[in-house]
Amino acid sequence: MDELDTAIVRLLQTDARQSNRELARTLGIAPSTCLERVRALTRRGVIRGYHADIDPAALNRGVQALVSLRLRPLTRGVITTFKDDMAGTPEVVSVFVVAGGDDLVLHVTVPDLDRLHGFLLDRLSKRKEIAGFRTSVIFQHVHNRVLSRLDGHASP
């Protein structure tokens, strides 16, 4: 990625809804150049998509939690099956496969603590591959929406 690619990525992370013409104007380049750069960044997998950032509380999901899990037996098949099952569960926002004392971490959003408790009892405690889990309720969440390179190259 050169400086122009980096600037495009930074601007799109800040506002992905801006038009190609607006983006090109901000960068001081031709719209055709800008469009080709964005398409190339997409082909290379740098830009993976565009989405709306939704407030979970606005969807009656005011309680968020991180659930750390240990699985047994710890095999690729067990991890893959469990990860895919959880990714399709309405309460689960994200599934992280991690190293350390735990094997996976689930980011869960639900309307209230009763629904969180129900999720833990009804969805998790009945799964035979779960050796144990811990739940941490999230009080506040801050998200860094603009990522940049950390390897010493040009950053957005």
What's the rounded mean pLDDT across residues 12-21?
Answer: 93
| Four-way CATH pick for 3-43: 1.10.260.30, 1.10.10.10, 3.40.605.10, 3.90.1150.10 | 1.10.10.10
Which pLDDT band holds residue 3 (cuts at 50, 70, 90)? very high
- Residues 6 or more apart whose Cβ sits within 8 Å of residue 67: 105, 106, 108, 120, 124, 133, 134, 135, 136
pLDDT of residue 153: 55
pTM for the predicted model, two decimal places: 0.81
Beta strands in the chain (DSSP E): 63-71, 92-97, 104-110, 130-138
The Cα 23–Cα 47 span in angstroms is 15
pLDDT of residue 123: 93
- Residues 6 or more apart whose Cβ sits within 8 Å of residue 132: 69, 70
pLDDT (tens digit per residue) in 90-110: 999 999 999 999 999 999 999
The CATH fold assigned to 56-138 is Alpha-Beta Plaits (3.30.70)
pLDDT (tens digit per residue) in 103-145: 999 999 999 999 999 999 999 999 999 999 999 999 998 888 8
pLDDT of residue 46: 95
What six digits make up the tokens of 133? 């889990």
* β 92-97/104-110 pair status: antiparallel
